[in-house]
Amino acid sequence: MREQIRDIQRLKHILDAIQNIEIFTKESNYDSFLENKMLQFAVVKNFEIIGEAAYRITKELQKRNPQIQWELIIKFRHVLVHDYYNIDLSTVWRAIHDKLNLLKKDIQLLIENIEASENLQI
């Protein structure tokens, strides 16, 4: 049986996926994003990872961190996975530029806080 993945690991998965999106889109603008199917799929896949990891974060940690829009992140993943045929690329692009940086900062701070508290317990 596989070991259960802890919240800290899920948060690091979210951070990795955010960093992937940043790297993939660094040299892109909206028009080049629309023209590049491979980039679209890479970005969507990483948003799916973010949403899945967020879904699997314990409810306790979610409730203690309401500054992170867990429900919105999870719903976005649901749309990307289940309504894949109807993805609005302008919404994906806006999520990259309007939401991702704040989420990255919140996740980084949360990881730092958890690691600091774990170090205090040792």
Positions marked catalytic: 77, 82
Which residue shows structure tokens 């958890």?
A: 114
Give the list of residues 6+ apart from residue 81 with CB closer than 8 angstroms, or none. 48, 51
Q: How far is CA 96 from CA 19, 60, 79, 109, in A?
A: 11, 27, 16, 19
CA–CA distance, 8 with 1 (Å, rounded to integer): 20
